[in-house]
Amino acid sequence: MPERRALFVDLDGTVRNTKSGHVHPLKPWDQEIRPGVQERLAQFRAAGYAVVGVTNQGGVAFGFLSEVDVRAINRRLEQVLLPDVFDLILYCPFHPGGRIKAYRRESECRKPRPGMAFEARERLGIELSRSIMVGDMDVDEGFAANAGIPTFYWEHRFFAEDFDADALLSG
């Protein structure tokens, strides 16, 4: 089977915003999809890209939410807000400054490290050198570089109405 291209997307601040104004959603209902996201992700999925969400969830390490909460939040994103869009959503609960000892550490899965990209490659047969990353923070750009993903877009450009996705998909 030929290796697939993937569209990696950060979640918080890229795909979704919170309704509460917090940086990260703390409950499944506390999220809304940003304008243009659903259409653009569906466009890439229809073109054969695997769509992979990658998100640091350091709030687990600080005790703001649990891994059960993170999974419930992401499940609502996958099943209700953006059904049939994601092939995989990965998260990293670790943070070196966290208050919860079990989660207070560096991790290869924490962006900008490339662990989540490598996991997606193994699970979905992704060719990272033909993939794209979209994000809203420097750690997202660093993640792409560290994973060998050559193409990075800032979210405000990638999801803009005038972004020429067709040119990117045909290139």
Distance CA(120)–CA(134), nearest Å, equals: 15
Is 10 among the residues known to form the active site? Answer: yes
Is 136 among the residues known to form the active site? Answer: no
Task: Encode the chain in three state secondary structure.
Answer: CCCECEEEEECECCCEECCCCCCCCCCCCCCEECCCHHHHHHHHHHCCCEEEEEEECCCCCCCCCCHHHHHHHHHHHHHHHCCCCCCEEEEECCCCCCCCHHHCCCCCCCCCCCHHHHHHHHHHCECHHHCEEEECCHHHHHHHHHHCCCEEEEHHHHCCCCCCHHHHHHC
Distance CA(134)–CA(140), nearest Å, equals: 7
Catalytic positions, written as ranges: 10, 12
